[in-house]
Structure 1
């Protein structure tokens, strides 16, 4: 481990996380988001689903920082070159964030990663800490929302194309379409089917209507979306179109369909996120969506030594 891993304040203890910690991690992250964003965007189901993935190893890829029995900080490796971490606002300024950052670098380096990073709200405590530690902005992402009282304009599909809920027999095609689209991003490995099955199909609250597809005249799935329902918000978690079908309005038609189905199931707000890797921000703004928060994905090379701080 790096030198700063020995600088936790007296009285704090550490241990790997277990699945029994999902509620504690949710409450910690909710406290951070409320303090930084003025709203809570995470659900406990997000954590349950992520931790259910067979590829996710809490034993070697996570750490909790505790004050007595209370979880006051945590970090976990959630994928290749990616981690999440948080420190309770009441425990800020004590060096816990710096300790967690060093722990993550050591854990990521031990599994062979050459770079590691995480998304943080722009201008937040975490953003400022990582900037001071020498982490660079790898990409920028935005959460967008359909303003109350407005709708994304409808877009007709090409002749013979249809949109609707995915059939169980089409789940494999849906997964393939999404992975083909998202795997175009440099450094993103393909998601194993077992991880998709655990985190999507067995996610708490999952319902078949949440998986939407566009079919071409032959019945092949050529575009797909996953819509999550969080309280009164319909959130399009993933949306992808086959490369050879792009530029024909399929994404917009699918977006309208996904938000409409969310409204049918009680959603009063429609959201999604995008980032600089997709080039889709202009499209979403063009159809009337507005940015509600901006996030920076800050990362650091593990072949270089970032600047160390004694406090966060």
Structure 2
């Protein structure tokens, strides 16, 4: 079968998401990627679609696979289940390695669903090692009486006038484990400017007028679950029950929307898994981040 290739455009975001959706349905029986995730990724300011993306198309026009390389370091490769076993994953990985070398990086990182044996085997065959683990956590939504907030703390929903403060709070909180701080224009594309962002279910915490915590909420259209995109607490306000209180506040907003569950991802580098488990969340599934030295 002869496949063709071309760079992605923003118009391809829907088809690229549908490929992920099909794979997740096959592995897990449900799709948990937020539908506008690919569109948000393709809008990253530093992503040059002409140079940093590649689509593989089947002769009938089907999208058989795709890849993007962000800043020469982070890679995402997806292959449609109908076209596995035809070398497409290998072709996309080779392309990603070549692109990373052009940029001048010395390794690339790729998160692979732990149910994706072919993707895992391919990276391990190239000598990749494990960099980190991501866990998808879940918690059923039940009505609870709001608890007392820590002294001096008040809650509000998302306030666009504080978007720069939210960005700084989150990037400060994540700086200990993520390799780079996202600039503001990239962060907003990935969070508060997405079509699925839910400002009324988002919880911001203030001490006086200072922003000290945030839980950003997204919609999962067609799902009975609410999605938490990011959770952050300022360092001097941790271990006071603020994360629990904010998640309970957002959970109550999800309940008002008729949802029955909450899901969020956490990363092994955050050290937050045990904290989330104490808050009643449980691991549903995981992905592994592999690092491949060039």
Is 2:190 the counterpart of 1:199? Answer: yes
2-side partners of 1:273 and 1:207: how far apart? 17
Tell me which residue corresponds to 2:167. 175
Tell me which residue corresponds to 2:218. 228
Q: Which has the higher contact order (CA 8 A, sep 6+)?
A: 1
Where 1:14 maps in the other structure, the secondary structure is strand
2-side partners of 1:151 and 1:297: how far apart? 36
2-side partners of 1:213 and 1:104: how far apart? 38
Where 2:171 maps in the other structure, the secondary structure is helix
1-side partners of 2:72 and 2:248: how far apart? 32
19, 30, 49: which one aligns with 2:10: 19
Residue 88 of structure 1: CA displacement? Answer: 1.1
Where 1:40 maps in the other structure, the secondary structure is coil
Give the alignment's TM-score, normalised by structure 2: 0.92
Tell me which residue corresponds to 1:3. none
Check whether the contact 1:22–1:44 (CA below 8 A) recurs between aligned residues.
no
Is 2:260 the counterpart of 1:273? Answer: no
Give the alignment's TM-score, normalised by structure 1: 0.87
Is 2:219 the counterpart of 1:219? Answer: no
Where 1:76 maps in the other structure, the secondary structure is strand
19, 24, 28: which one aligns with 1:37: 28
Tell me which residue corresponds to 1:4. none
Tell me which residue corresponds to 1:7. none
Runs of 4+ aligned residues of structure 1 deviating over 6 Å after TM superposition are: none
Residue 102 of structure 1: CA displacement? Answer: 1.2
Where 2:176 maps in the other structure, the secondary structure is coil
Correspondence list, 1:42-191, <5 A: 42-68=33-59, 69-78=61-70, 81-125=73-117, 126-147=119-140, 150=142, 155-187=147-179, 189-191=180-182
Residue 270 of structure 1: CA displacement? Answer: 0.6
Deviates more, 1:194-203 or 1:56-65: 194-203
Tell me which residue corresponds to 2:289. 297
Residue 66 of structure 1: CA displacement? Answer: 0.7
> CA, structure 1 residues 238+152, in 2 after alignment: closer, same or farther (shift >3 Å)?
farther
1-side partners of 2:13 and 2:115: how far apart? 27
Where 2:163 maps in the other structure, the secondary structure is helix
Deviates more, 1:176-185 or 1:160-169: 160-169
Check whether the contact 2:34–2:219 (CA below 8 A) recurs between aligned residues.
no
